[in-house]
Amino acid sequence: MKFNRLLLLTVSLAPLFAQQAAQTSTSVPRLLRVNGSFHPANGSPAGATESVTLSIYRDEQGGTPLWQEIQNVAIDSEGHYTALLGSTLNDGVPVVLFNSSEPRWLGVRFNRPGEQEQPRTQMASVPYALKASDAETLGGLPASAYLRSPSSDPGYLINAIGTALTPADKTEPRPQTASGTTNCIAVFTDSTDLGCSPMYQSGGSVGLGTTAPGAELDVQTPNSGYVDLLNLKSNYTGGATGAAGMTLAHKNSTMLMRAYAPGAPSNLANSIGWFALSGSNKLLIGHAGTATGNDLAFFTNNQYANPQIVLTNTGNVGVGTSAPFYSMEVDDNGNTVPGGVGLAGISSYAGDSGVFGFSEASSGASNGGTFYTDSPAGTGILAENLSGGGNNYAGYFFGNVEVVGSLTVTGSVGKGSGSFKIDHPLDPANKYLSHSFVESPDMMNVYNGNVTTNQHGLAVVTLPDYFEVLNRDFRYQLTVIGQFSQAIVAKEISRNRFTIKTSRPGVKVSWQVTGIRQDAYANAHRVAVEEAKGPEEQGKYLHPELFGVSEEQAIRYKRSVQPPTTTKNDVTASAVQPRTPR
């Protein structure tokens, strides 16, 4: 014997059978009370209020609902609830549902993820008592309901609630959803019924995934994984040079984001571009956060964990490092070829500089450039002039240059003067001692010493073994010490030695010999004692201030690289002014 599950259905308000027979049909309440229980499928407790869809079917299984209603019902601590079918409608449950003697089945589905419709329950005889109010109607509808439909098909009629009825609908009403959620934008849940969509409208704002949009269009998702909130795509296939994008504009500022097709011009092909269009003030890309870690990062090759460029919230920029210590820090991290550089400055314009450094501070030990190396075989600064012509300067300095340590020069040294400077031997804490260099028009070497003649008044002075190879044009000077005596060079230099003879034996003689260099380098780079100034130097001076003329008449004066006299903004506008790429 087959048993069907029954829900308790009762007619609300006063008992139906207590009403007077003469009472009109509109006085009978078309509400059906439904009692049941709800225990969520995922095992979690039910909420205090749950949304439920109540459907009436012709069949126990399958088929399309004849009628549907969505309500919010209160759930007690044990999962029990009570609902009144038709309570969300002005006219309650349509009487036409119970015109025939066919059974009706009630389906209940709670509107939360993972919930299915509960097994349908056959409705008992109580709902059919509504037919008692149908004595003055035809087919459950008043006579006024049977008006001709605006449709061109004369077989269509319109019922009292405005739904078109086909001949089949006269015995089986079309399903209809008669309830919703405030501010929810409706969507057809099937070919005939409306339900609540994920979109809500509040005032002038529309929300997708949120019931309280905080912007004109507010799109949200509860998904914790990677989710594309917005997908804009052009499927245009009419040509290879097209582009798709979107424009954001407000008054005079306009930004364009565009994706370019393979045939787009030059570097635009297969590219994504962000542009501030003409008339806009600037394009700002940044981070509004102020906490540590609120950085702006740029990466390629999917290296989001180790971005190649980082702008930290403190304003430091790192290239090759995600934690720059300096305002601008570039680390090559071994990514360049051997012998490469971490930072390169290149200029191809006449008069320009590849790298420009300037400290604006007017006090303290602030440097325009600082260079270090940890390599024992390296150098802090390596400079080379590759032109091979002109003055061929690898370095050029305006002002004093101090070298702490040794200075090695493999070429010539040209100077206005020269001296040594040391801590004064008698007062090293408070004074310096300086001596000038001995100058000569020749590339002269000086050798000297003291010697004492023997009992015959002779002394042989031995010079370094390289002396005659290095020098020529020898000069001699002898001075006797301690007594009157004559002294002469008895034999001149030969085999790197010469002989002194005094008129008395045992005489101490101070001697000095000079020679002019004749090594290969000296022979190739003789000092020009006197030379005419070149055409570009005529009328100019090495030290114009000593001759009472202006600094502009200095031979080394170069306006393009003069130290700035105002601010770094002025320097940017003149000495390092940006140029349009060629």
CATH of the domain at 454: 2.60.40
CA distance readout (Å), 405 to 402, 408, 409? 9, 10, 13
Q: Do both 459 and 515 map to the same domain?
A: yes
Please spell the DSSP secondary structure of 8-42, one letter per residue: -EEE-SS-GGGS-TTS-GGGS---EEEEEE---TT
Write down the pLDDT at residue 137: 59
The verdict on residue 265 lying in a domain is yes
Q: Do both 101 and 205 map to the same domain?
A: no
Q: What is the pLDDT of residues 152-194, one digit of tens each?
A: 444 333 333 333 334 444 444 444 444 568 888 888 888 778 8
Q: Do both 513 and 581 map to the same domain?
A: no
Q: Do both 127 and 95 map to the same domain?
A: yes
Q: Do both 129 and 14 map to the same domain?
A: yes
CA distance 212 to 203: 10
Considering Cα of 340, then 345, then 349, then 350, what sign does the dihedral take? negative
Q: What is the pLDDT of residues 422-442, one digit of tens each?
A: 899 999 999 998 998 888 889
The contacts of residue 178 (CB under 8 Å, 6+ apart) are: 68, 69, 88, 89
Write down the pLDDT at residue 548: 93
CA distance 239 to 178: 49
Residue type, 407: L
Write down the pLDDT at residue 142: 58
The verdict on residue 398 lying in a domain is no
Angle at 191 between CA 186 and CA 194, to 5 degrees: 20
How many independent structural domains does the chain possess? 5
CA distance readout (Å), 365 to 359, 370, 399, 565? 10, 11, 16, 18
CA distance 106 to 402: 99
The verdict on residue 496 lying in a domain is yes
The verdict on residue 152 lying in a domain is no
Find out whether 33 and 11 touch, Cβ atoms under 8 Å. Answer: yes
Residue that is last in its domain, among 254, 276, 298: 276
Write down the pLDDT at residue 445: 95
Q: Do both 46 and 139 map to the same domain?
A: yes
Low-confidence ranges of the chain (pLDDT < 50): 1-26, 147-178, 559-582
Find out whether 64 and 118 touch, Cβ atoms under 8 Å. Answer: no
Domain with 102, as residue range(s), is: 9-144
Q: Do both 479 and 501 map to the same domain?
A: yes
Q: Do both 103 and 75 map to the same domain?
A: yes
Residue that is last in its domain, among 259, 276, 293: 276
Q: What are the beta bridge partners of residue 578?
A: none
The verdict on residue 450 lying in a domain is yes
CA distance 99 to 134: 9
Q: Do both 14 and 136 map to the same domain?
A: yes
The verdict on residue 360 lying in a domain is no
Q: Do both 481 and 561 map to the same domain?
A: no
3-state secondary structure of 288: coil
The verdict on residue 400 lying in a domain is no
Q: Do both 82 and 197 map to the same domain?
A: no
CA distance 464 to 462: 7
Write down the pLDDT at residue 455: 97
Q: Do both 536 and 468 map to the same domain?
A: no
Write down the pLDDT at residue 339: 63
CA distance 100 to 122: 15
Sheet arrangement for strand 508-517: 444-452, 508-517, 471-481
The verdict on residue 458 lying in a domain is yes
